[in-house]
Amino acid sequence: MKRVFPHIVWFALLPLLLTAREIKVTYISNQSIYIDGGRADGIRVGDSLIVKHNGKPTTLLKVKYVAEHSASAAIEKGKMPKKDDAIVLLTKRSTSKPRVATGRRERHIKTNRSSFRSDFKSRAKVSGSISLNWRHIKDVSDRKASLDQPGARFNIKIKNLFGQAYELRIKSRLRYQRRTFTYGDRLPKEEWRNRLYVVFFSYTDENALLNYSFGRILSNAIGSVGYIDGALVQARLVPALRLGLFAGTQFQGQNSNIPSGKQKYGAFVRYIKGDYRAGRWESAATLSGEYVHNTIDRELLYFMNSFYTRRFSFYQSADIDINNGWRQDRAGEKIALSNLYLNGHIKFTRKISASLSYDNRKNYYSYRWRSIADSLFDDALRQGLRASINLRLPQQIQIMINGGVRIKENDDQKTFSYSGSVTKRRITRWRAFVGLYGSGFSNAYTQGYYASTRIGANLRSGHSFDVSYGGYFYTTRTTQESRASRWVRANLNLNFGRHWFMSPNYEYFFGDDSPGHRLYIEAGYRL
């Protein structure tokens, strides 16, 4: 009966929907549907809308934002609509009976409102996981440097709170470490190492006039500014343009405590156009200042541009330091490009893809380095170029190759690195796989190689397991000393129903570096 009832409702409403004055879908973003009807047509925030494609109802929408002659809505039920699909007002939040918009007239519909709306009821969407874990390292060398590390992880995201675009995000890690060795106060035998990465409450609707977040925030909009404990507000001026402000402090990285003495302030502008299906362009520019006890720590401009389609993507980011006060005296220049990153990815066919990236960076003077001698501060430019190609061959064979080079200003010796893998999947009906992996590097001080093989299976029940064997070898150029180590690993992933999981992993490490047993177990609940 539950499957039949929605179809009966659609059929009962069809004559009225066909005679109503139709509003159109004008634009579709990755989060919202824009329509050409608004307050003047009797539409209000909270109303429910039906989308018709070729005369057939396909989607139920809920209105989130209304202007005089336009509105935006989110999908409650059904599939993604298309541009120029027809819109009909089904129910209005402030009335006791549903109605259909027909210009200035309204026609009442007699139907089981509670049953229909319960089928499309808006609920908070909870995702993420909560887990407990334990890491044990038993060193069998003469040092006996063993470690026990119990802990817990929380990664929780709650979206669509109260039926609106409110979101709560928490990401944290608890960890207790107990060692059989110590290196003074900096590395005691027992200690807590806890991290609270993000915890914030936000309102995020691309079509709303104002969006905001407060708490411990990490936002792509402010780029290199990084984490802030504070607030971020952005206003939507036109559909594609947003202006924002942020302010807060920075927590201490080692223990996640708030009082670090650093304050951050800034403003940003964002331009967002299109969606991920047809093509999305996003640009952002941020002007920020960071200060420690009223002394300049860093002032910079951050620029970001990204473009994405199904076959091609491009990303660019840059940090431009503005040196004022003591920073200009130390750096010797007013403006400096301290970081630039470029990345492009292209899918030539469904089977062949490639990427190319370039980055350069140099250290910048900050409050931390204010009193250090110039001779000890390294501001040499570092540049790197990396390319990769991915091939999907017949018979479920996949090949990946990548390589790169890095060079430091005034250094004659470049650093080369490379890696590759060959994987064969679906060998048997149990979806077994086998892979070969290798990598290497060479720089002014050392050169080395790594190789491993891995075999396992992904079972239909959601379980998986694999066993691998590998090792590495490296040589120090100055002393010609060589070292080699090998390992055997076994990983098991178990899923109990839709929510519970457990992942035990064991490794035996033997050779010249830290021989011993390593065990890691994690068990948790997926929300």
What secondary structure does DSSP assign to 22-62, as a single string? PEEEEEE-SS-EEES--GGGT--TT-EEEEEETTEEEEEEE
| pLDDT score, position 115 | 40
Q: Are 262 and 249 in contact (CB under 8 A)?
A: yes
Domain boundaries, the chain: 4-119
| pLDDT score, position 449 | 94
Query: What backbone torsions phi and psi does residue 283 show, to the nearest 5 degrees?
Result: -130, 150
Bridge partners of residue 402, in order along the sequence: 388, 419
Cβ burial, residue 430 (10 Å; 0-12/13-18/19+): exposed
**CA distances for 411 relative to 240, 337, 375, 476, 478, angstroms:** 45, 20, 17, 18, 16
For 496, the token pair is 């109990």
Q: Which CATH class is domain 4-119?
A: mainly beta
**CA distances for 323 relative to 296, 336, 376, 382, 493, angstroms:** 9, 8, 20, 20, 51
| pLDDT score, position 467 | 97
Question: Is the pTM here over 0.75, yes or no?
Answer: no
Q: Are 150 and 176 in contact (CB under 8 A)?
A: yes
For 396, the token pair is 């479920």
Question: Whole-angstrom Cα distance, residue 443 to residue 505?
Answer: 33
| pLDDT score, position 90 | 64
| pLDDT score, position 103 | 39
Q: 319: Cβ–Cβ under 8 A, 6 or more apart, which residues?
A: 223, 224, 300, 301, 302, 337, 338, 339, 340
> Of all residues in the chain, what percent are helix, strand and coil, respectively (each to 5)?
10, 60, 30
Q: Which helix (H) or strand (E) holds 119?
A: helix 113-119
Q: 199: Cβ–Cβ under 8 A, 6 or more apart, which residues?
A: 169, 170, 171, 172, 215, 216
* Nearest alpha-carbon partner for 518 in 137, 72, 75: 137
Cβ burial, residue 479 (10 Å; 0-12/13-18/19+): exposed
Q: What is the 3-state secondary structure (H, E, C) of 267-336?
A: EEEEEEEEECCCEEEEEEEEEEEEEECCEEEEEEEEEEEEEECCCEEEEEEEEEEECCCHHHHHHCCCEE
Residue that has been written with the tokens 């109605």 in this structure: 99
Q: 105: Cβ–Cβ under 8 A, 6 or more apart, which residues?
A: none
Residue that has been written with the tokens 């129903």 in this structure: 497
Look at phi and psi of residue 90 and say left if phi exceeds 0, alpha if psi is from -120 to 50, else beta: alpha
Q: Are 507 and 480 in contact (CB under 8 A)?
A: no
| pLDDT score, position 429 | 74
Question: Whole-angstrom Cα distance, residue 363 to residue 380?
Answer: 7
| pLDDT score, position 318 | 95
- Which of helix, strand or coil describes residue 82? coil
Question: Whole-angstrom Cα distance, residue 174 to residue 288?
Answer: 31
| pLDDT score, position 301 | 95
Name residues of the chain where pLDDT drops below 50. 1-21, 92-122
Q: Are 417 and 404 in contact (CB under 8 A)?
A: yes
Residue that has been written with the tokens 């044990």 in this structure: 136
- Which of helix, strand or coil describes residue 93? coil
- Which of helix, strand or coil describes residue 7? helix
